[in-house]
A and B are shown apart, each in its own frame.
Chain A
Amino acid sequence: NAGVMQNPRHLVRRRGQEARLRCSPMKGHSHVYWYRQLPEEGLKFMVYLQKENIIDESGMPKERFSAEFPKEGPSILRIQQVVRGDSAAYFCASSPMTRTGSGNTIYFGEGSWLTVV
């Protein structure tokens, strides 16, 4: 039973290039979350998606960042024209469909470490 799968695990990009990070949720999970961990900081929520829908993107930077979760295939976090400040670990997480009035455990992937040089 595979967990949340992220790739690539490590990515190096030059300033101005694009970075694409992929995430396949756990089997049976329909909710995907992206979090960013800057050096020496905790994780910060970026975006929450269901299949073909962005539900909450309140944590996404206004420019250069976008996310999708298509009907088929993994979720993609896309960063255009990367800058040094984008260097961070990006974690994807998934959970099963949320039941009203109860919580669900959110499972995290191993992360994708982006380095911008």
Chain B
Amino acid sequence: AQSVTQPDIHITVSEGASLELRCNYSYGATPYLFWYVQSPGQGLQLLLKYFSGDTLVQGIKGFEAEFKRSQSSFNLRKPSVHWSDAAEYFCAVGGLMNTGFQKLVFGTGTRLLVSP
């Protein structure tokens, strides 16, 4: 069965510092991997996705993530965090089901706090 683990519930980073949010997944085939960001009371915005090809993917707002099959990881990184990045970040893994649709399984999220 698919599963996603985000081991850090909260992370606090100083503005301007680098960021890495961890994501580990369990999936029996080639996974489709996503990072979404959610501000309080808002919906989910897609930051980036990995389907195939280059294992380092670039996303919006200066984020990137690296797919490491050997470690079953898809960690999200940003070299310099801005105060506006404070939000909840969700990693998700998806795959095509027999019925032909893509079902996403989400991690429990990591709340990012940015200190001045």
Contacts and interface: CB of A to CB of B under 8 A. Distances in A.
Contacts of A108: 36, 43-46
B105 A45 contact: yes
Q: Interface extent on A, as a size class?
A: 20 to 34
Given A45-B105, A108-B44, A103 B99 contact: no
B101 A103 contact: no
A22 interface: no
Contacts of A98: 96, 100-102
B108 A41 contact: yes
B50 to A, nearest CB: 9
A47 B42 CA distance: 21
A42 B90 CA distance: 7
B43 A91 contact: yes
A56 B99 contact: yes
B111 to A, nearest CB: 10
Contacts of B102: 95, 98, 103-104, 106
Contact of A45 (B42, B51, B90, B104): B104
A34 B4 CA distance: 19
Interface of A: 31, 33, 35, 41-45, 48, 55-56, 91, 95, 98, 100-111, 113
28 contacts: A31-B101, A33-B104, A42-B106, A42-B107, A42-B108, A43-B44, A45-B105, A48-B99, A55-B99, A56-B97, A91-B43, A98-B96, A98-B102, A100-B96, A103-B49, A103-B96, A105-B34, A105-B46, A106-B34, A106-B102, A106-B104, A107-B46, A108-B46, A109-B43, A110-B42, A110-B43, A111-B42, A111-B43
Interface of B: 4, 32, 34, 36, 41-46, 49, 51, 90, 92, 94, 96-97, 99-109
